[in-house]
């Protein structure tokens, strides 16, 4: 557990805490488009359709290359968007603003030489914004400077054809982007190493419905038609997105730079973030609240896909313990995995356990044979076990004492319990 210290993030539902310093985005630079094949007309007798879900075709549109056009296997829905050039006349270009430097000590390391950096944290996306063309770097930087925005990531994207179907794809840096995916996917190092090696990754729905096999090559039709190897699958956690390719592959395929922006704003009402981001980007941009129920989907075989799911699942192991208490502790301790590194007292992981305490209360929550202090699948149920052992399930004064055992400070207990009430008001 962390020693008494100032909380690391703002509170949900009106808690008082200093704003988190924004993590500056690194917009991709628009590359020149070379050697594009002549576009062929689509046969009107064979309308394009996305992978099926529940037996119903979900159509996608393409024109040159469509930008995240309608729905796909993940169930996300966008307006039909097409583009021939990344920027409309007179728009700010992504090159006009130099990418801000990364903060010293930033936990996500950008890999070079085809290697993928180790996972240091998981960043749950709260809002997804999709433009009709490249979103200017100046606007992305304005989003990063919004009050209490923690992290921002801008990525290239577009609709491509795979196995005769259309799929929405993002082109990403695997070392940085993995932290934005659900914890179970983020921890699959082999998946991200494959992506770093210019293979592609898909959602489980797409892998099943398009009958894709790992290790096999498939032609991907965009503005060019490269043959890419399928490197694996995992829940991507973003509505309407079923495919990831490397930045290099995305540039070769002509995907539109900086067409999508992910925003993490811990402790802020996502609806307010949607409104603020929409104001920055202006009309014509789709801005989605990823906390809405229609965008929530379970990960592998029903396994929890995000931090809120993990808190709820772990709380079931302690009768009488509300998941909101775990969520509050997770927010105060690490901003839900954003600051999971070693504290000044030596605490580690998303729930900030001291290694000595972890030896007694560590849990192998994901059944991989290891109780990993850095893995939220293990750390969150470990926190539930520790609280329960101190009587948290009894509520009242005993809950207060259990939280006090987590961090010996009355201000800490009051902060956690106030946040827990805010979580309950918003989600229950």
Beta-bridged to residue 53, according to DSSP, are 56
Report the candidate in 122, 135, 119, 64 with the shortest Cα–Cα distance to residue 286: 135
* Strands 151-162 vs 227-233: parallel, antiparallel or unpaired: unpaired
Q: CA 322, CA 228: separation in Å to the nearest integer?
A: 46
CB-CB contact of 358 with 373 (8 Å):
yes
**Among candidate residues 149, 405, 396, 171, the one with its CA nearest the CA of residue 277:** 149
The pLDDT tens digits for 335-375 are 887 777 788 889 998 999 999 999 999 999 877 788 989 88
Nearest to 295 by CA among 286, 366, 148, 324: 286
With cut-offs at 50, 70 and 90, classify the pLDDT of residue 67: very low
pLDDT digits (tens, 9 = 90+) for 252-291: 999 999 999 999 887 778 889 999 999 999 988 899 998 8
* Angle at 278 (CA atoms; ends 276, 279), nearest 5 degrees: 65
- pLDDT band at 95, cuts 50/70/90? very low
Do residues 15 and 267 lie in contact, with contact meaning Cβ atoms separated by under 8 Å?
yes
**pLDDT band (50, 70, 90) for residue 294:** confident
Q: Report pLDDT digits (tens) over 135-157.
A: 999 999 999 999 888 889 999 99
The pLDDT value recorded for residue 98 is 32
- So what's the pLDDT on residue 188? 87
User: What integer pLDDT is reported at residue 387 of this predicted model?
Assistant: 97
Tokens of 404: 């006090």
């Amino acid at each position: 557990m962390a020693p008494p210290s100032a909380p690391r993030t703002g509170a949900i539902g009106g808690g008082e805490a200093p704003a988190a310093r924004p993590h500056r985005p690194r917009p991709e630079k628009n590359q020149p488009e070379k050697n594009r094949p002549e576009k062929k007309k689509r046969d009107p007798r064979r309308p394009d359709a996305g992978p099926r879900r529940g037996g119903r075709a979900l159509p996608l549109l393409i024109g040159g290359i469509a930008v995240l056009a309608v729905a796909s296997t993940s169930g996300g829905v966008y307006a039909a968007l097409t583009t021939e050039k990344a920027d409309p006349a007179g728009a700010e270009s992504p090159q006009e603003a130099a990418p801000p430097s990364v903060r010293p000590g930033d936990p996500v390391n950008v890999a070079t030489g085809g290697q993928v950096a180790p996972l240091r944290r998981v960043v749950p996306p709260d809002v997804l914004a999709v433009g009709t063309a490249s979103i200017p770097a100046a606007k992305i930087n304005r989003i990063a400077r919004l009050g209490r925005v923690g992290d921002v990531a801008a990525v290239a994207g577009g609709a491509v054809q795979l196995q005769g179907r259309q799929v929405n794809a993002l082109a990403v840096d695997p070392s940085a982007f993995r932290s934005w995916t659900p914890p179970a996917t983020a921890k699959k190092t082999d998946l991200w190493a494959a992506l770093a090696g210019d293979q592609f990754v898909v959602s489980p729905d797409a892998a099943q419905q398009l009958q894709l096999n790992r290790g096999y090559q498939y032609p991907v039709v965009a503005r060019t038609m490269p043959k890419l190897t399928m490197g694996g699958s995992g829940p991507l956690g973003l509505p309407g997105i079923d495919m990831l390719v490397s930045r290099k592959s995305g540039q070769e395929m002509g995907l539109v730079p900086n067409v999508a922006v992910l925003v993490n704003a811990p402790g802020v009402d996502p609806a307010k973030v949607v409104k603020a981001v929409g104001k920055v980007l202006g009309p014509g941009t789709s801005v989605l609240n990823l906390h809405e129920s229609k965008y929530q989907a379970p990960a592998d075989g029903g396994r929890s896909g995000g931090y809120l799911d993990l808190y709820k699942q772990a709380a079931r192991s302690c009768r009488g313990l509300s998941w909101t208490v775990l969520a509050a502790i997770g927010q105060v301790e690490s901003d839900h995995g954003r600051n999971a590194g070693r504290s000044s007292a030596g605490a580690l992981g998303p729930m900030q356990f001291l290694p000595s305490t972890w030896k007694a209360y560590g849990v192998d929550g994901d059944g991989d044979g290891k109780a990993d202090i850095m893995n939220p699948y293990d750390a969150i149920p470990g926190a539930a076990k520790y609280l329960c052992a101190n009587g948290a399930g009894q509520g009242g004064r005993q809950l207060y004492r259990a939280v006090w055992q987590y961090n010996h400070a009355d201000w800490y207990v009051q902060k956690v319990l106030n946040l827990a009430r805010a979580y309950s008001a918003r989600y229950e």
